[in-house]
Structure 1
Amino acid sequence: FEHGFIVGLYRGVRQPFHAHCPPPSPMPLVMDQPMAKERMMCYACQAPIAGSACVHPDTAAGSHPQPVHPLCVDPKALQRKGLGQPPQFVDWSFSATVTSLYQVWCPELQCPPSGWSRPQMFLPYHDHDPVPVLFHKRVSPLGIHQGRLGNCWFVSALGVLAEAPAALWSIFRTSACDPCRGYYEIRLCKGGWWRTVIVDDLLPVGPDGRLTFCCTADGALWAPLLEKGYAKAHGSYQSLGVGRSADALTDLTGFPSMEVVLGGGISPKVGGDETWSQLRHWVQQGYPLCAATPGEDRGWGGGAHTRTAFEQKFERLGLIVGHGYCVLDAQCLRSGERLLKLRNPWGRGEWMGEWSDSSPMWTDAARTELAYRPHTEPGVFWIAWPDVLRHFETLTVCHREPAWLDLRAQVDLQYDAPAFAEVTVDRPTEAMFTVYQQDLRGTFAEEDQQYLAASITVLRPIGDSEYDLLEFTDYHAMRDITCRTHLEPAARPYLVIPHAPYRDTCRPCVIHACLQHRESCKVVFRRGDPQLTYRSCLLAAYRSGQASARDIEGKATWVSAGSNRVRTCVLHNRTSHMDVQVRLDASRSTGLVPHLGGGLQSEVT
């Protein structure tokens, strides 16, 4: 059993079996032995396989089978082999077995399903017509049930997108989908690059015949199929256990998302006025928005559990801990009150404080101003902005701009041969630049294999050959890093430079340029001189650290900027006739790389 095994009953005794050799019992009981890491590598991409694996379709007969990630299988080969099994399509790359449920190194699900079933079988148990329907005529944002999987972050993202049905419809390639045969094509933006994920409609069910995981109240299949496609992209359903709604929104829409920390009962991390202005702008732009409460929702697993004092407090307020709410509107009344309109995707459970449906705060003037009618929309409520700052932890926004110019390039994020983009605009243009690293969800990532701390610097041209700093981001060890700025027409191109301050490190990534005007913008991706990257990083650090700059005898300036993860120190000699000597204690640092005038010197510690 090189790749782990499942356990089933054989002649009344629990015995081990290969995952592809199920025992003659109704259902394997459990994946028993965690698989040793680095045992199985993908034949196509050479990355460790953490979840479901399949045999490479080009493996010669009689040779050793080559395992591959499900997403590394050629879609045409998948269609050819899967559709050749009448009467319905079977996705053999993400099969209806325990290997699609569990992470092989730590197989554990709180409420595992007991089998797999087609819509014709499980829909009647949900009191729906057995005919499979991908979308009903009207996509309802209500009644999206999480099921018995701790992926509220993903289900919240689905609820947010259901408020804009066009965003959901674009995920499915409906012209290629065949509900009668159970064949569906889904477009996911993984690692910043669009991928087609093919799935069948065999879904996990419980002993009662109902879906174990995500489902919709109206019986539409879009939500459980999206969940299955997302699980396939990450190796297993178990891989979806913990996450951020921002990541899910980015993967589903292809546009960068950001998360603003509000406070959640501790202390607001941002200014309420500044965030409110941004929020009003995002609502006017029609961006998908999600507000999340702090804590962890433990009620999804079913069964009883002891509620903490924190959970009881939120329950008295009508809120759910660790839950995402869709942001529908943000209004400022003539009286000065700032109100936020939220929707609980479950279609039940509403705020019970001030400005709730039964609150005396609602005057006739306020009702008229907001066209407010209480108890008409289940799960929808108004809440005051100070209460949002007090009881909600994060606000997630997805900068979805489908009409903008969208260009991407697959490059390597490396120190000595940096990639950058030249951007030319003919009129004032809003722009977003994002660097996507490969997603580590569902992989064998160790502590030293986490996301690289990276930054983005945007330089504007001045004169005939010089550049000045326009915008930059701090160094963040995150999957996606985004820089949003405004570009004015210039005689020469702007430079967009991603940077990771690690020598001897090379990571594949995607550079994404999203520009407001399609017809008046030009983007060219290039591989550049390392000196350009070094100087842009020093310039960004020097500008950002001016507030804490130290003067040295009126002749030099010492600037230190950044975080504990990546800190850039700049010494500016303001004279032309004197030398400045510096002794820097870096005994507790690693990867110290000194530069002189942008030139690389020998590495010392």
Structure 2
Amino acid sequence: MDLSALHAEEPCNSKMGPPHQIQRQNTLSIEEVREKSEQAAMEQWSQIIAFCKANNNRFVDDSFCPCDQSLFYDPKRKPDRHDVVTQWLRPEKISSMDRSEGSIRWTVSRNPAPSDITQGILGNCWFLSALAVLAERPELVEKVLLTKKVNREGIYQVRLCKDGQWQTVLVDDLLPCNSHGLLVYSQARRRQLWVPLIEKALAKLHGCYEALISGRCIEGLATLTGAPCETIQLQGKTSERLDADLIWARMLSSRESKYLMGASCGGGNMQTDDDVYNEIGLKARHAYSVLDIRSVRALSLTLFPRLVRLRNPWGRFSWKRAWSDGSSQWMEISQKERDSLMPHGAEEGVFWISLDDMMMYFDSVDICKYQSDRLECRIASFLPAHSKNIKVFQMEIFDATEVEIGLFQEGIRGNEKTNRSPVDLCLLVLRSAQGSNQTVGSLVGNSKRQVRSFVGCSMMLEPGTYTILPTAFNHWSPDAVRSLNCVVTIHSSKGLTANRISAPGYILADSIIQLALAKGTKHEGREGMTTFYLTQGWAGLMVVIENRNPDDSIHVQCDCTESFNVVSTRGTLKTVDSVPPLHRQVLMVLSQLEPSGCYSISHRLIHRLWATGSGLDDWGPGANHVPAITSEVFGLHTARPI
């Protein structure tokens, strides 16, 4: 028996074919999908257990061997302070930091709790924070760790959702330790294995432990639950004032819905001073679990403090200012309120903080919309590097239903040497066309356009047929040899079906035009001409021209040459186009290139009405478009009838 079959992708509810095949799927309940995967996993586990017992062997995972290759991208270039793993030990040989635990037997889990989690030397608090949030509901931890009991053979299965697809990961119980026999990476108190086993499964999925360094809590929540996730920004742009009441309402609503939440401290584009953060008991560029949200009544009856309870996954180092343990603010509320809030958790890294202070020092709150009664399906597809071979999804709704749609791109975590950056993602949901010149109807929903690992949107849909279009542009290139893999996920409150189908290339133009009409900023350039811009918050720029003149063309020069850290679908930052009468055209799509850096957009339009035949005349002799609209970009930039 080949024991190196270490993880397997799980189909949703029909056999997952390669991306070029048309697929039809019905949504299934989340629990039904999980039960099917557990059944298949148990069959695999039983076969390997039987093999090991028959040969009197203990399982060693050859594809994620107990060696430096499983620890680092390159064992010759180890990160600072990480050269401490000297041996890989099975649980019975691992020592405990707490000597009082020496008499406790090892177990997979015993009523897992957030306070069990202890971070090791790996900078993966983003994941441990998500794991701590999950442990607030121990039954969810049980759904991740499929193997419930310790076994001598050392064979365990963990169910994780990577890049939108569920995978069952097989691992052994050989864990990285130092020369004293202590675990080097994450661990759980009370001699539990659930934390290091889940961490090892994640490291295996991404190639090595080093690949787990740095991330956001939202990625951890999506990986552990497979549920739709979204982010509430706590920091606006310099000129943008955020609505604290709206933020509070969203957080409170999420808490009331029992969603899982995590918070990012001093990250994103915030300018932080580590010394300042340390002085007040916070850790910059660190992830925290959100445990509770409360609005309390002060004794004065004039104040209603809005408080958030957080946990540092380190299990220590807590907030020291207003509403921290022992602060004077606790005397402003009644003894009954104090008792209900239990303001004494600093020794375990648990503390209360006001919303105002949170918005000063934290950059975002991540929300995981896990609901066990939801239906789901997951369909593999790809994001082409041009407007050819566009794939869309046709969704049939039979009863009014709430729908959450996600788009996941192929991850780059675990590939240090990749030359590829994440692409810009955007999901569009449109009504299907009904006997018109267009390939799609009006826009009914969309995600943000972001250079992120995944995006999503939610909406309430009436019965009917809808088109889902995943888009990405910053990887477009006429020389591209392959498309990027992606996965579209659908969660709904009622049953629906989804097909992935081929579509005419210009469905891309029609869809972006509908997006611009619905969400773009309008500018009336001249009589019979409207320009639509999508820029602020759109990871770049989209420009659409509408020519309502019945007889005359409009010549348009679009100059974006002073833009920075963006790439154009036209291959240049300056274009000239002749837009025919009664047509619309997507002139240019600019996309942010490097997600970690800033980008700037500068655009200037010059236009004229042209009544003497086709062509650009002196703006582009003998041409209608400069640069020419090639077959690779035709589906996006061809003029479309109004």
Query: How many residues align structurally?
Result: 513
Q: String of CA shifts for 1:462-500, please: whole Å, max 9, x gaps.
A: 86666211122343222212122221x23x312211122
- 2:254 is aligned, of 282, 290, 299, to 282
Asked if the contact 2:345–2:351 (Cα under 8 Å) also holds between the matched residues in 1, the reply is no
Structure 1 pair 581/197, CA: closer, same or farther in 2 (3 Å)? same
Structure 1 pair 330/185, CA: closer, same or farther in 2 (3 Å)? same
Q: Report whether the alignment pairs 1:385 with 2:359.
A: no
Q: Report whether the alignment pairs 1:90 with 2:67.
A: no
Aligned equivalent of 1:226: 198
Q: Report whether the alignment pairs 1:591 with 2:590.
A: no
Q: Report whether the alignment pairs 1:545 with 2:520.
A: yes
Within-5 A mapping of 1:550-589: 550-562=523-535, 566-585=540-559
Instruction: Tell me, in whole angstroms, the C-alpha distance in 1 between the residues paired with 2:412 and 2:189.
Output: 32
Q: Report whether the alignment pairs 1:310 with 2:286.
A: no
- 2:341 is aligned, of 358, 361, 372, to 372
Structure 1 pair 351/454, CA: closer, same or farther in 2 (3 Å)? closer
What is the aligned-residue identity percentage? Answer: 27
Q: String of CA shifts for 1:522-544, please: whole Å, max 9, x gaps.
A: 33332222222320112212332
- 1:460 is aligned, of 417, 431, 439, to 431
Instruction: Tell me, in whole angstroms, the C-alpha distance in 2 between the residues paired with 1:345 and 1:229.
Output: 19
- 1:172 is aligned, of 145, 153, 173, to 145
Indicate the SS of the match to 1:211.
Answer: coil
Asked if the contact 1:405–1:517 (Cα under 8 Å) also holds between the matched residues in 2, the reply is yes
Q: String of CA shifts for 1:197-229, please: whole Å, max 9, x gaps.
A: 111110011122110110112221000111111
Q: String of CA shifts for 1:89-124, please: whole Å, max 9, x gaps.
A: 211111111111111286313232111111101145
Asked if the contact 1:264–1:293 (Cα under 8 Å) also holds between the matched residues in 2, the reply is no
- 1:353 is aligned, of 321, 341, 358, to 321
Within-5 A mapping of 1:123-202: 123-124=95-96, 126-127=98-99, 128=101, 129=103, 131-136=105-110, 138-174=111-147, 178-202=150-174
Instruction: Tell me, in whole angstroms, the C-alpha distance in 2 between the residues paired with 1:329 and 1:147.
Output: 26
Aligned equivalent of 2:311: 343
Structure 1 pair 401/464, CA: closer, same or farther in 2 (3 Å)? farther
Instruction: Give the letter aligned to residue 221 of structure 1.
Output: L
Q: Report whether the alignment pairs 1:402 with 2:365.
A: no
Indicate the SS of the match to 1:390.
Answer: helix
Instruction: Tell me, in whole angstroms, the C-alpha distance in 2 between the residues paired with 1:468 and 1:264.
Output: 30
Instruction: Give the letter aligned to residue 375 of structure 1.
Output: H
Structure 1 pair 556/107, CA: closer, same or farther in 2 (3 Å)? same
Q: Which moves more between the two structures, 275-284 or 178-187?
A: 178-187
Structure 1 pair 329/309, CA: closer, same or farther in 2 (3 Å)? closer
Per the TM alignment, residue 271 of structure 1 is displaced from its structure 2 partner at its CA by 2.6
Instruction: Give the letter aligned to residue 313 of structure 1.
Output: V
Per the TM alignment, residue 545 of structure 1 is displaced from its structure 2 partner at its CA by 2.1
Structure 1 pair 369/76, CA: closer, same or farther in 2 (3 Å)? closer
Asked if the contact 1:471–1:485 (Cα under 8 Å) also holds between the matched residues in 2, the reply is yes
Indicate the SS of the match to 1:204.
Answer: strand
Greater RCO, 1 or 2 (C-alpha within 8 Å, sep 6+) = 2
Aligned equivalent of 1:514: 491
Structure 1 pair 105/560, CA: closer, same or farther in 2 (3 Å)? farther
Aligned equivalent of 1:28: none
Per the TM alignment, residue 349 of structure 1 is displaced from its structure 2 partner at its CA by 3.1
Instruction: Tell me, in whole angstroms, the C-alpha distance in 1 between the residues paired with 2:88 and 2:359.
Output: 43
Instruction: Give the letter aligned to residue 502 of structure 2.
Output: R
Instruction: Give the letter aligned to residue 490 of structure 2.
Output: A
Q: String of CA shifts for 1:304-323, please: whole Å, max 9, x gaps.
A: xxxx9933433332323333
State the TM-score, normalized to the length of structure 1.
0.77
Instruction: Tell me, in whole angstroms, the C-alpha distance in 2 between the residues paired with 1:231 and 1:497.
Output: 32
Structure 1 pair 246/124, CA: closer, same or farther in 2 (3 Å)? closer
Q: Report whether the alignment pairs 1:536 with 2:511.
A: yes
Q: Report whether the alignment pairs 1:119 with 2:91.
A: yes
Let me know the Cα RMSD of the aligned residues: 3.3
Per the TM alignment, residue 257 of structure 1 is displaced from its structure 2 partner at its CA by 2.5
Instruction: Tell me, in whole angstroms, the C-alpha distance in 1 between the residues paired with 2:261 and 2:499.
Output: 32
Q: String of CA shifts for 1:144-164, please: whole Å, max 9, x gaps.
A: 111111112121111111112
State the TM-score, normalized to the length of structure 2.
0.73
Structure 1 pair 271/214, CA: closer, same or farther in 2 (3 Å)? same
Asked if the contact 1:126–1:210 (Cα under 8 Å) also holds between the matched residues in 2, the reply is no
Indicate the SS of the match to 1:93.
Answer: helix
Q: Report whether the alignment pairs 1:451 with 2:422.
A: yes
Instruction: Give the letter aligned to residue 133 of structure 1.
Output: T
Instruction: Tell me, in whole angstroms, the C-alpha distance in 2 between the residues paired with 1:309 and 1:441.
Output: 25
Q: String of CA shifts for 1:133-178, please: whole Å, max 9, x gaps.
A: 0011x21210411111111212111111111212211112236x65
Structure 1 pair 223/268, CA: closer, same or farther in 2 (3 Å)? farther
- 1:247 is aligned, of 209, 219, 238, to 219
Aligned equivalent of 1:19: none
Per the TM alignment, residue 565 of structure 1 is displaced from its structure 2 partner at its CA by 5.8
Aligned equivalent of 2:295: 332
In structure 1, stretches of 5+ residues that fail to align are 1-44, 46-73, 297-307
Per the TM alignment, residue 427 of structure 1 is displaced from its structure 2 partner at its CA by 3.6
Instruction: Tell me, in whole angstroms, the C-alpha distance in 2 between the residues paired with 1:267 and 1:312.
Output: 27
Aligned equivalent of 2:186: 214
Indicate the SS of the match to 1:251.
Answer: helix
